[in-house]
Amino acid sequence: MAPTITPLPQAGAEITGVDLATLSDDDFTAVRTAFTDHGLLFIRDQSLTETDHIAFAERWGDININRFFTAHDDHPQIAMVVKEPEQTGNIGEVWHTDHSYDVEPALGSILVARELPSSGGDTHFASMYAAYEGLDDEMKEFVRTNRAIHSARHAFGAAAFYRDGDQDDFEGRYSNSDVADAMDDVVHPMVIEHPLSGRPALYVNPTFTIGIEGMEREDARPILKQLYRHAMQPRFVQVLEWRPGTVAFWDNRAVWHSAQNDYHGERRIMHRITIEGCALSPAA
Ligand code: SIN
């Protein structure tokens, strides 16, 4: 059966009629084209083992073993994205794009639902193509001619663990705060030429972007906030309602994501594999 690819209204496409564990080369090509075109895929009705998940990820490139997330006990390639019933904070609630703090940010992440709450726990995705397109001409010119500074330190570094009273809640879920402290800030264009599609995409995010190159932080902050308010408008946001067997594969250079934290008292377990990316070039 050939894959059925259905574009979604705000961002991405849903794919049915494939088994990612046994994908033929032709079907893989169809999925890869959909990934390039849409930057976000929801693939339904899968039953991937951990080994299948790793094998599918390896078809896209090298796996980036996340230095901050707790790894799966038997498969270090898999980062555990877990919230237990007694925990209040979740991983990834604030809008972000994974690994923008790296010199070569990750291509994307493949998230497999392992245990879902009875309701809630959706993931929201915002299209950075549409967000860029929706800017006015003056802001387009500004972002096309500037670069932004990104960091992991405030999110994963030692200081993050003293930031507020909730941090104990993340014990065992994040590690390597000393690595985050040692990482240099990195600079990326505020609008990139997407490495796969060639389209311009806004590339700043509320979690890891900390400033604009050559500007005082207090001058940069309102500009970044204005961009964030713009990009998180519902017209750019696609909601994924997880079902057992759903796999999400997002391109970190095309979308932001935010995990909803609305299922207190229940467990949610997701397995995430992140694929290495490349250095990012400014939009032409
Ligand atoms: C993440 O930010 O990678 C987690 C997304 C989710 O749990 O839905």
Q: Going along 8-140, which residue ranges are E strands?
A: 13-16, 40-43, 63-64, 79-83, 108-115, 123-127
Query: What is the number of the ligand 1 atom nearest to the C-alpha of 257?
Result: 2
Distance 109 CA to ligand 1 centre (A): 9
- Here the contacts of 181-185 (C-beta below 8 Å, separation 24 or greater) are 181/153, 181/157, 183/101, 183/151, 183/152, 183/153, 185/101, 185/149, 185/150, 185/151, 185/153, 185/210
Atom in ligand 1 nearest the alpha carbon of residue 79: 3
d(CA 134, CA 146): 18
pLDDT per position as a tens digit, 88-119: 888 888 999 999 999 999 999 999 999 999 99
Cα(80)–Cα(83) distance, integer angstroms: 10
**Cα–ligand 1 centroid distance for 1 (angstroms):** 30
Q: If you average pLDDT over residues 156-182, what whole number do you get?
A: 54
Residue 168's pLDDT is: 53
Whether the Cβ atoms of residue 57 and residue 162 lie closer than 8 Å to each other:
no
Mean pLDDT of the region 250-273: 97
Contacts of 70 (CB under 8 A, 6+ apart): 79, 80, 82, 172, 173, 174, 175
pLDDT greater at residue 234 or residue 70: 234
Q: What is the pLDDT of residue 152?
A: 82
Which tokens is 199 given?
């389209």
- Dihedral sign, Cα of residue 74, residue 77, residue 78, residue 80: positive
Q: What is the distance, to the nearest Å, from the Cα of residue 48 to the centroid of all Cα atoms in its chain?
A: 20
To test the ligand 1 pocket, which listed residue (66, 101, 257) has its Cβ within 8 A of the most ligand atoms? 257
Which among 180, 196, 198, 200 is positioned nearest to 250, based on CA atoms?
Answer: 196
Entry pTM: 0.91
What are the catalytic residues? Answer: 96, 98, 257, 272
Domain count, the chain: 1
Question: Is the model's pLDDT at 174 over the cut of 70?
Answer: no
Report whether pLDDT(177) > 90.
Answer: no
Q: Does residue 175 have a pLDDT over 80?
A: no
Q: The tokens of 111 are what?
A: 């998230």
Q: Specify the pLDDT at position 161.
A: 47
Lowest mean pLDDT among 59-73, 200-214, 224-238, 247-261: 59-73
Identify the residue whose C-alpha is closest to ligand 1 atom 4: 92
Q: What percent of the chain has pLDDT over 90?
A: 82
For 7-22, what is the mean pLDDT? 96
pLDDT at 234 over 50: yes
Instruction: Quick: pLDDT tens for 138-165.
Output: 999 999 999 999 998 666 555 544 444 4
In 3D space, the residue among 264, 271, 267 whose CA is nearest the CA of residue 248 turns out to be: 271
Q: Which amino acid belongs to residue 101?
A: Y
- Cα–chain center distance at 283: 20
Amino acid type, 197 = S
- Which residue, by CA, sits nearest to atom 7 of ligand 1? 259
Distance 265 CA to ligand 1 centre (A): 18
81 lines ligand 1 (CB under 6 A): yes
pLDDT band at residue 167 under the 50/70/90 scheme: low
Instruction: Output the CA–CA distances (angstroms, integers) from residue 186 to 101, 104, 212, in the order listed.
Output: 6, 9, 11
CA of 117 to the centre of ligand 1 (A): 14
Q: Does ligand 1 come within 6 angstroms of the Cβ of 124? A: no
Task: Decide if pLDDT at 254 tops 70.
Answer: yes
Q: Which two tokens stand for residue 81?
A: 């994205």
Selection from 96, 185, 197 nearest residue 147 by Cα:
185
81 Cα: distance to centroid of ligand 1 (angstroms): 7
CA torsion through residues 27, 40, 10, 135, sign: negative
Q: What is the mean pLDDT of the chain?
A: 91
**Would the CB of 280 count as within 6 Å of ligand 1?**
no
pLDDT digits over 183-209, tens only?
A: 789 999 999 999 999 999 999 999 999
C-alpha distances out from residue 125 to 41, 166, 178, 273, Å: 11, 25, 30, 17
Domain of residue 140, residue span: 4-282
202 lines ligand 1 (CB under 6 A): no
**Position 35 pLDDT exceeds 60:** yes
Q: What is the CATH number of the domain that holds 27?
A: 3.60.130.10
| Nearest alpha-carbon partner for 220 in 105, 143, 152 | 143
Q: How many residues does the chain have?
A: 284
What pLDDT sits at residue 163?
47
Whether 17 and 6 have beta carbons less than 8 Å apart is answered as no
The preferred substitution site among 81, 116, 249, 274 for testing ligand 1, maximizing ligand atoms within 8 Å of CB, is 81
